[in-house]
């Protein structure tokens, strides 16, 4: 049975729509995997390049140069050395004597003009995520724009009296699809604690623009 022109057009459009849907489904599956692999390899190669560069500067004859003018290296060796070094520093710094040395160096860097701004900022940021002073572990809903408009944020300071606001707290609100955010000083009555969602799930929800599904704990 022959189809008329209108029917053929409908069939053709349906096939094209199905092909497009299949293509987009493939993108949805491959994009997160590809981006993750790219980020891991980029980090691996960046760290892996540290050792050859240092050795070449200290002992140029120890690290050769290939035909393309690049430093010769054993893949993975630099990454392994950096990993061991970081773990060694972490282990040594936990000892009493070396802990005192690290503490003294810490105080010197915190008081050095110019350097202290960079040092303290990086130190506080690292401790906020992975140290003993974790800050992004108290997800809340914060009202900053209107009576019925709420943002997902994290309490970073329970008191901002140093800024002249005795009855306010500091709430950091991350941006979606960006490594950035905004800091708000708000009174406690404009905050609602998020009790059934973990801090990591709340952060993923914000960064994904609300696309990520969250599970109640």
CA distances to 46, 47, 86, 189, 213 from 83, rounded to whole Å, are: 13, 9, 5, 46, 34
Closest listed residue to residue 51, CA positions, set 70, 68, 73, 84: 73
CB 152 within 8 A of CB 131: no
pLDDT of residue 141: 92
- How far apart (Å, rounded) are the C-alpha atoms in residues 116 and 19? 57
Residue written as tokens 């094209």? 16
Q: So what's the pLDDT on residue 60?
A: 65
**For the segment 57-105, what is each residue's pLDDT rounded down to a tens digit?**
666 665 666 666 666 676 776 777 777 777 777 777 667 666 677 677 7
Q: Among residues 190, 147, 145, which one has the least CA distance to residue 171?
A: 190
CB 188 within 8 A of CB 135: no
What's the confidence (pLDDT) of residue 112?
A: 76
């Amino acid at each position: 049975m022959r189809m008329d022109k209108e029917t053929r057009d409908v069939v053709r459009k349906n096939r094209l729509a199905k092909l497009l849907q299949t293509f987009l489904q493939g993108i949805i599956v491959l994009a997160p995997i590809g981006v993750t692999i790219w980020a891991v390899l980029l980090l691996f190669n960046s760290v892996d390049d540290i050792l050859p560069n240092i050795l070449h500067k200290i002992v140029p004859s120890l690290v050769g140069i290939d035909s393309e003018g690049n430093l010769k290296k054993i893949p993975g060796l630099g990454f392994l050395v950096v990993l061991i070094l970081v773990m060694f520093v972490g282990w040594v710094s936990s000892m009493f004597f070396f802990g005192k040395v690290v503490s003294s160096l810490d105080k010197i860097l915190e008081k050095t003009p110019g350097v202290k701004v960079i040092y303290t900022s990086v130190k506080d940021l690292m401790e906020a995520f992975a140290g003993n002073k974790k800050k992004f572990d108290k997800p809340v809903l914060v009202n900053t724009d209107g009576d019925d408009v709420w943002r997902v944020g994290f309490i970073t300071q329970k008191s901002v009296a140093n800024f002249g606001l005795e009855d306010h707290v500091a709430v950091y609100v991350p941006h979606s699809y960006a490594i950035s955010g905004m800091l708000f000083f708000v009174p406690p009555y404009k905050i609602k604690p998020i009790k059934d969602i973990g801090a990591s799930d709340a952060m993923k929800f914000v960064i994904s623009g609300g696309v990520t599904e969250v599970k109640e704990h």
